[in-house]
Amino acid sequence: MPQQAPRTVVITGASGGIGRATARRLAARGDRLALIARGDAGLAATAEDVTRAGGTALPIKADVGDHREVGAAAAQAEAELGPIDVWINNAFTSVFAPFTRIDPVEFQRITEVTYLGYVYGTRAALDRMLPRGHGTIVQVGSALAYRGIPLQSAYCGAKHAIQGFTEALRCELLHEHSRVRVTMVQMPAVNTPQFGWVRSRLTRHAQPVPPIFQPEVAARAIEYAADHPQRREYWVGGSTVATLIANAVAPGVLDRYLARTGYAAQQTDQPHDPRTPGNLWKPADDEADHGAHGVFDQRAHRRTPQLWASQHHVLVTLGATALAGAAAALARRRA
């Protein structure tokens, strides 16, 4: 790939997990990065990573659940780094628990951060990109934007909402013949610190549903999406496509399968204190940096052929036809 000019990029949720890995990857290109997160220690460590990798870092402490803080962060990014070329919405929070054990104020907070944080970030980016007729917005989505699973009702609801919001916005941008682009990257299970950060009322430690991928896989997909935003979405990890197809082919069967297996699949054998507050109201990395990876390094994959396939749309279409029958048969056999 030919050397590209440095860009001004904003990343929300930049201090850990996917955001942290993406910041490192884009820094290696020499990009100017506005890093938005809540934790002081995590932000400082991410800024050091960016500088060490060859990028320019501007750490900004802000809560994406507050549109005023998001707007102020966008203004600061442009004032200190220049016009925003790419905005990556990634920040989220959640609670692992059955719906009836999530308090209404907790559900509201999750929605404000995980869904409205994307809305506020998108609006802040568009306010600056539309007058210039240039810019890219990348929404970090999830397979759970298409398929809800037990114990994650608030998170699934937010990801579904982001999907619908983004589809509507894309149509509006096309109607206006805008050159601003918006795309989504649908993630599989990723080995990030979130499974130790988020509030959980489970008695065992939360885990992503396998197969699990390293955050660097997600970062490669986000970088590619930012470079090729003409595609409406990219899928990362074969499980993402299999979930989508199974949900389309046999949704009722998949409901019963997840009802039987979804609880155990999201918990390890390690005990967990359900009174642990998590990062719902306060950042988990304010005093200590937790990096990009979670505790599942021994089980996480560093590559996925699905990312390559998603970058070549014809192959995805052909592959989807073959996967549809396999996914439906698997769901019926396990039901």
DSSP 62-75: --TTSHHHHHHHHH
Q: What is the CA radius of gyration of the chain?
A: 19
C-alpha–C-alpha distance, residues 26 and 293, integer Å: 17
Alpha-carbon span 186 to 148, nearest angstrom = 14
What is the number of domains present in the chain? Answer: 1
Alpha-helical segments (H) within the chain: 17-27, 40-53, 67-81, 104-111, 117-132, 153-175, 194-197, 215-227, 238-249, 251-265, 305-310, 313-334
| Separation of CA 237 from chain center | 14
**Domain contains 153:** yes
Q: For residue 297, what pLDDT is reported?
A: 85
Which residues are catalytic, by number?
A: 155
Tell me if 69 is assigned to some domain.
Answer: yes
Q: Is 88 domain-assigned?
A: yes
Q: Is residue 290 in a domain?
A: no
Which residue from 304, 291, 226 is spatially nearest to 26, judged by alpha carbons? 226
Sign of the alpha-carbon dihedral angle for 158, 92, 237, 192 = negative
Q: Is residue 236 part of a domain?
A: yes
| Phi (first) and psi of residue 205, to 5 degrees | -65, 135
Query: Could you state, in chain order, the average pLDDT of each consecutive group of 10 residues for the chain (335 residues)?
Result: 82 98 98 98 98 98 98 98 98 97 98 98 98 98 93 98 98 98 96 94 93 95 96 80 69 90 95 94 94 89 66 50 48 51
pLDDT at 101: 98
Structure tokens at 29: 């290109």
pLDDT given for residue 315 in this prediction: 44
pLDDT at 319: 47
pLDDT at residue 239 in the model: 59
> Could you tell me if 163 and 143 are in contact, meaning their C-beta atoms sit under 8 angstroms apart?
no
Q: Other CB atoms closer than 10 Å to residue 26's CB: what's the count?
A: 25
Q: What is the pLDDT of residue 298?
A: 84
pLDDT at 317: 43
Helix (H) or strand (E) holding 199: strand 199-200
pLDDT at site 4: 79
The boundaries of the domain holding residue 98 are 8-274+295-334
Return the number of other C-beta atoms located less than 10 Å from residue 220's C-beta.
18
pLDDT of 282-318, one tens digit each?
999 999 999 999 998 888 878 766 566 666 664 444 4
Instruction: Please provide residue 91's backbone torsions phi and psi, each rounded to the nearest 5 degrees.
Output: -65, 145
Does residue 285 fall inside a structural domain?
no
Q: What is the pLDDT of residue 301?
A: 79
Residue 190 sits in a domain of what CATH number? 3.40.50.720
In a domain, 3, yes or no: no
Backbone angles phi, psi at 170, to 5 degrees: -60, -40
Is 316 among the domain residues?
yes
DSSP 27-84: HTTT-EEEEEES-HHHHHHHHHHHHHHT-EEEEEE--TTSHHHHHHHHHHHHHHH-S-
Contact, 67 vs 120, CB < 8 A?
A: yes
3-state secondary structure (DSSP) of residue 301: strand
